């Protein structure tokens, strides 16, 4: 790891810890995040983690850029990751079906396997939450195994159903609300991924882990899922 500081704005610096996305990055990212919050204390306006970077937005009236750089340097001195993950493990029930996961067949063809095998492979891995973005509660997770990786759709859908679970490259995610989107859809979860009454709003936070658990259509409905076919929303 060779940390670098990049300028984002007059009162915002980007700390780049890694160049490549990897699950092993997250313990270091969490440790750096905690150090930065402590180092900047009341001067910190916002701290935005991503796959390989931490964006530090500080009070530009109280700190000069040089002072902000010095606080970052102090925070990084002797940095060590936690031996255990600080995040929660979430199990999201998913109904995998062609009516709500229309790209299941495409992914199976690309991987040279059956739809059932795609479902098994996608659901047997525990994914790391790297970052939140795109929409409130939308968690970017990975890494999906290479065989299931697929580029985003050439033409994004105008509407993707709330709870839809998809794959884009080696990432996977679930849509917290109905919105446009271009990910390859494989199923749908009934879980509430964003709630204004919840502390932190989003069900998942960077550093958490997620496992998708296949459920039957009956169980999906019992849990409050909406089985409206995706094609009905196009």
pLDDT one-digit tens code per residue, 53-66: 999 999 999 999 99
C-alpha 186/C-alpha 94 separation (Å) is 9
Burial group, residue 173, by CB count within 10 angstroms (0-12, 13-18, 19+): buried
Give the residue range(s) of CATH 3.30.1360.40 domains in the chain.
4-76
Instruction: Respond yes or no on whether the N-terminal peptide bond of residue 143 is cis (omega within 30° of 0).
Output: yes
Structure token pair of residue 191: 């879980």
CA-CA distance, 62 to 91, in Å (whole number)? 43
pLDDT at 5: 95
Q: Exposed/middle/buried for 2, CB within 10 Å: 0-12, 13-18, 19+?
A: exposed
| CATH 2.40.100.10 intervals, the chain | 89-233
All residues at 6 or more sequence positions from 18 whose CB lies less than 8 Å from its CB, including other chains: 1, 25, 28, 51, 52
Kindly report the number of other CB atoms within 10 A of residue 47's CB atom: 17
Contacts of 105 (CB under 8 A, 6+ apart): 98, 115
Please, which pLDDT band fits residue 234 given cuts at 50, 70 and 90?
Answer: low
Which two tokens mark 27? 């313990």
As a whole number, the mean pLDDT across the chain is 92
Q: What is the pLDDT of residues 87-127, one digit of tens each?
A: 789 999 999 999 999 999 999 999 999 999 999 999 999 99
Is pLDDT at 85 greater than 70 in this prediction? no
Residue positions counted in the chain: 234
Class of domain 4-76: alpha beta
Q: Is pLDDT at 231 greater than 80 in this prediction?
A: yes
Question: For residue 193, how many other CB atoms are within 10 A of its CB?
Answer: 24
| pLDDT for res 1 | 74
Give the Cα separation of 120 and 130 in Å (integer).
22
pLDDT of residue 161: 96
Quote the pLDDT of residue 59.
96
pLDDT at 83: 56
Nearest to 142 by CA among 227, 231, 212: 212
Q: What is the pLDDT of residue 86?
A: 63
Give the tens place of pLDDT for each residue, 144-185. Answer: 999 999 999 999 999 999 999 999 999 999 999 999 999 999
Q: What angle do CA 140, 143, 147 make, to 5 degrees?
A: 125
Which tens digit of pLDDT belongs to each residue from 25-38?
A: 888 988 898 899 99
| Confidence band of 131 (pLDDT split at 50, 70, 90) | confident
- What is the third-level CATH fold of 89-233? Cyclophilin (2.40.100)
Q: Residue 133's pLDDT band (boundaries 50, 70, 90)?
A: confident
More confident residue, 95 or 130: 95
């Amino acid at each position: 790891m060779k940390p670098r500081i990049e300028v984002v704005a007059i009162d915002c610096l980007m700390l780049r810890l890694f160049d490549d996305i990897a699950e092993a990055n997250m313990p270091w990212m969490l440790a750096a995040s905690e150090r930065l919050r402590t180092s900047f204390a009341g001067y910190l306006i916002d701290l935005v983690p991503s796959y390989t970077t931490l964006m530090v937005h500080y009070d530009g009236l109280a700190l000069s850029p040089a002072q902000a750089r010095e606080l970052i340097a102090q925070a990084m001195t002797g940095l060590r990751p936690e031996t255990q993950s600080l995040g929660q493990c979430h199990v999201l029930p998913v109904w995998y079906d062609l009516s709500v996961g229309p790209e299941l067949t495409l992914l199976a063809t690309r991987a040279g396997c059956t739809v059932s095998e795609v479902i098994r492979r996608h659901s047997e891995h525990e994914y790391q939450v790297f970052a939140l973005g795109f929409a409130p509660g939308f968690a970017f997770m990975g890494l999906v195994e290479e065989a299931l990786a697929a580029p985003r759709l050439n033409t994004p859908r105008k509407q993707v159903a709330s709870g839809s679970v998809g794959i884009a490259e080696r990432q996977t995610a679930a849509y917290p609300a109905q919105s446009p989107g271009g990910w390859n859809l494989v199923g749908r979860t009934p879980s509430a991924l964003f709630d204004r009454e919840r502390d932190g709003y989003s069900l998942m936070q960077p550093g958490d882990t997620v496992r998708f658990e296949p459920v039957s259509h009956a169980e999906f409905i019992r849990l409050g899922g909406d089985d409206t076919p995706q094609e009905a929303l196009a």
